[in-house]
Structure 1
Amino acid sequence: MLKGKKIVLGITGSIAAYKAVLLVRSLIKEGAEVKVIMTPAAKDFISPLTLSTLSKNPVLIDIFKEDTWANHVMLGRWADMMLVAPLSCNTLAKMAAGLCDNLLLSVYLSATCPVMLAPAMDEDMWKHPSTRQNLQTLASYGNSIVPVTNGELASGLFGEGRMAEPETIVEHLLQHFKNGGRLNGKKVLVTAGPTYEHIDPVRFIGNHSSGKMGVAIAREFLNRGADVTLVLGPAPGALPLDGLNVMRVQTAGEMYDACHQVFGETDIAIMAAAVADYSPVSVASEKIKKKEESWSVALKKTPDILKSLGQKKKENQVLAGFALETNNERENALAKLQQKNADIIVLNSLRDKDAGFGKDTNKVTIFDRKGREKNFDLKSKTAVAKDIVDYIIEYIHA
């Protein structure tokens, strides 16, 4: 519940502004007190009268109006959360640049409360490098970003850039207040994706990991207020990396070095990457030609990242690993928990339908060093990430 929480809702000039009606209604239903600020352009998409009626507060648009003055400093101090939904590409750019030419931007720049942003724009705008940079800038300031979704856009096209639905945004707010800021300022390390162990300039040993699970976990920690570093292998396809501090790697050795570089200052580490167990003993400098009827490649073990971090782990650090199994799942996961000196192991089985590599869903069981075991149903990887982060928070504070 958001009972008693004070929310400043900023609405910008986007067709998604129509969803603000449902958003305000949901926030009021959850018990929040809502004050709405609109940019001048937002009035073209939604009526201030509708929003003032639903919020039971005057809608604020202009800093100066007749003989009154909207005190932007007090608004930013009054709120428990400033939520901008929808956040247009134009306002996003202004916020990243620190511009201050309307009331919404004035409140944002003077706000002392947390800020949550729900972008909305067409796919080409969403994927433009300047937009990605602006999002990363705002996230680096500690703002939470509610991920966009795929769907029908105002242009008539289908793709990324659609604002999250009001119920999803409310869920992000509920999670923020539920955790009471317990992850604010925590430094989190997450690994994701496969590693590619090179044979020659064009061939490699790899696996089918998409990186979706690890990225979802990293984003969930980011949304909860943590300072997240994502060490990402060469995952295929586009992933929502905006706002994350990303270290791109290719091989298991590079992932090992990146993890050890930041682990000493990390509070929580989640090793979700599917790291190759073996790599070629030698890498050819030129493409190996197909000449012989048979060909063998000598392999050596790659460094065990989870085990090496377990050996360095301090008492105040939490280390979680993943176990992807095809048989004797529970026994193998429990053995890994002990052998790697991990605090938590997240098990998923390739025998579970619609779980594992390349899927948008997953089904996990979590084990910890306190002897607990918890099974979860098949869910979207975003929902699984929430379960994992909730479990880690509970583990820390148990």
Structure 2
Amino acid sequence: MRIVLGVAGGIAAYKAVLLLRQLREAGHEVRVVPTRAALEFVGRPTWEALSGQRVTTDVFEDVDEVAHVAIGQHADLVVVAPATADLLARAATGQADDLLTATLLVTRAPVLLAPAMHTEMWEHPATVANVALLRARGVHVLDPASGRLTGTDTGPGRLPEPDVIAAAALRLVEPAQAETAPGGHAAETADAHSTHDLAGWRVVVSAGGTREPIDPVRFLGNRSSGRQGVALASAAAQRGAQVTLVAANLAVPAPDGVVVVPVGTAAQLREAVRSAAKDAEAVVMAAAVADFRPVSPAETKIKKRAGAQAPTIELVENVDVLAELARDRLRPGQVVVGFAAETGDDQGSVLEHGRSKALRKGADLLVVNAVGDGLGFGTAENDVTILDARGEPVATASGSKDAVAHAVWDAVRALG
């Protein structure tokens, strides 16, 4: 297979060297197209030695070959790693001011972009809009990993590991290749799921955390980023399902290839999930849904006044959406999966609380994980136990949230 490996100018360019080696060891022909800035991080000799091909950056090089057109025309797959904020912006606006962006305009092959940048750049509205626009056009954009960045910074924006990128890229054109990508670790990345075992399924996934308004500027919320729910939606789409993602205040971008229904409150989430679940074979409630909401949200901002007592906020219980879905089964044979974010206390351990909840909720599966002190919410990894309706463990999974997501879908498929 002929692969174009684009490399933009970021410190993570060194990881692209490892990605190149993996793709070459898998038997693919790889043409590296770096930007001029990328060559400041990794030089031309390295790319040429490892790829076995001439490396150019400018549209005026190799004019006799019309390289700025030919490279994209002949590619079976285009991967850009790292894709910097600048590269995303230029690709989204259709610029062709160097060989890489010209190639992106010409090619009709699948394109995978693997972003890497500082957290502030990834979360900037301009980058968010550029990613959404690219995904709407059919470009596959990975979410960056979360972890150590340049210097002492940490957060989302880290380039995914080369084996993760290789598996995701190869899956776009040769699903079976993803299983055998050199360096791939199915237990860690769950990228070995090459079969479309959810083809023909319609699934609903809820993600994020609901917000219950106190007044026009304040709300009761939780720490959920939506990362695990987004991973579940992405994994289901990779496995062939038609996915509706009910997204409550996500802190991470929604994946491409799914229908996104944005919601804010628990009531809005309940309505959206129930509407979508009428035609779904499976519903996975990964969202952190508020148990309570203010009885009477203030219509104007609550002011702090000297000498006045702090306001008393009366709460009322929200509908238990998971228990309701498990009870009603809006479609015959529907599989209902819940999540239980727990902390141990003097009344029991995380798993004991999870077992009790499994018996109360009535879902087919309950995914139990510990939260707090850097666990669960907002992290790149998770550690879960999957319980059946009787509270008995049927599987465990740990590692990246993508790996956990695939483990959940494996458990769903095991139900028949």
User: Where on the TM-score scale, by shorter chain, does this alignment land: which range?
Assistant: 0.7 to 0.9
Name the residue aligned to 1:314: 331
CA deviations over 1:233-263 (Å, ceiling 9, x no partner): 457xxx3226567655442112112323444
Of the three residues 352, 356, 359, the one matched with 1:335 is 359
What are the residue-to-residue correspondences of 1:172-321 with 2, within 5 Å? 172-173=168-169, 177=178, 178-180=192-194, 182=196, 189-198=204-213, 209=224, 211-218=226-233, 220=235, 229-233=244-248, 239-241=251-253, 243=255, 247-264=261-278, 268-283=282-297, 285=299, 287=302, 297=314, 299-302=316-319, 304-305=321-322, 307-308=324-325, 311=328, 313-314=330-331, 319-321=336-338
Q: Which moved more, 1:378-387 or 1:26-35?
A: 378-387
Unpaired stretches in structure 1, ≥5 consecutive residues: none
Distance 1:184 1:135, change over 3 A: farther
SS in 2 for 1:99: coil
Distance 1:123 1:258, change over 3 A: same
Deviation (angstroms), 1:295: 7.0
Name the residue aligned to 2:153: 158
Name the residue aligned to 2:399: 379
CA deviations over 1:316-355 (Å, ceiling 9, x no partner): 8654222345654564465357x34x4x4323356x9975
CA deviations over 1:23-44 (Å, ceiling 9, x no partner): 2112223444322223344344
Counterpart check, 1:52 vs 2:48: yes
Name the residue aligned to 2:67: 70
Q: 2:56, 2:309 → 1: CA distance?
A: 76
Counterpart check, 1:118 vs 2:114: yes
Q: 1:366, 1:373 → 2: CA distance?
A: 6
Distance 1:46 1:274, change over 3 A: closer
Q: 2:303, 2:296 → 1: CA distance?
A: 12
Q: 1:225, 1:166 → 2: CA distance?
A: 24
CA deviations over 1:94-132 (Å, ceiling 9, x no partner): 211223344433432343433211123344433332111
Deviation (angstroms), 1:136: 1.3
Q: 2:127, 2:201 → 1: CA distance?
A: 27
Q: Which amino acid aligns with 1:240?
A: V
Deviation (angstroms), 1:201: 6.2
Name the residue aligned to 2:35: 39
Q: Which amino acid aligns with 1:335?
A: L
Distance 1:224 1:40, change over 3 A: farther
Unpaired stretches in structure 2, ≥5 consecutive residues: 179-191
Identity %: 35
Name the residue aligned to 2:131: 135
TM-score, length-scaled by structure 1? 0.74
SS in 2 for 1:195: coil
Q: 2:282, 2:56 → 1: CA distance?
A: 41
Q: Is the 8 A contact 1:77 1:112 kept in 2?
A: no
Name the residue aligned to 2:181: none
Q: 2:335, 2:268 → 1: CA distance?
A: 22
TM-score, length-scaled by structure 2? 0.71
Deviation (angstroms), 1:211: 4.0
Distance 1:144 1:228, change over 3 A: farther
Of the three residues 365, 370, 388, the one matched with 2:385 is 365
Please provide the CA RMSD for this pair.
4.4
Distance 1:315 1:109, change over 3 A: farther
Distance 1:82 1:324, change over 3 A: same
Name the residue aligned to 1:347: 368
Deviation (angstroms), 1:270: 2.0
